[in-house]
Amino acid sequence: MLGLLDDDKEFVDAINQASLWGTASYMRRLFVQLLVSNQFSQPEVVWSKTWHNLSDDMLNRQRRALRVPGKNI
């Protein structure tokens, strides 16, 4: 209403800070929870600023699922 909630910086910061101690799976659940509860004013901006952290383990998970040899982290 007053323009105080139009900035999603606090959510971007929270997700990026969670990347220091949380798993990518945890951060994805956090992102979805915030998305479903309609917390973001611009979800696409939050996604574009955090997708690296949110998808950090995807390549590794795919390699294991497909049993493709590669560097497992």
Per the structure, the complete domain to which residue 49 belongs is given by 9-66
Whether 61 maps to a domain, the answer reads yes
Whether 23 maps to a domain, the answer reads yes
Whether 1 maps to a domain, the answer reads no
> Which pLDDT score, from 0 to 100, does residue 25 have?
86
> How many structural domains does the chain have?
1
What's the CA gap between 4 and 40, in Å, rounded? 12
pLDDT in tens, 4-46: 556 899 999 998 898 889 888 888 899 999 999 999 999 999 9
Whether 4 maps to a domain, the answer reads no
What's the CA gap between 58 and 51, in Å, rounded? 11
pTM for this predicted structure = 0.70
Is the pLDDT at 56 greater than 60, yes or no? yes
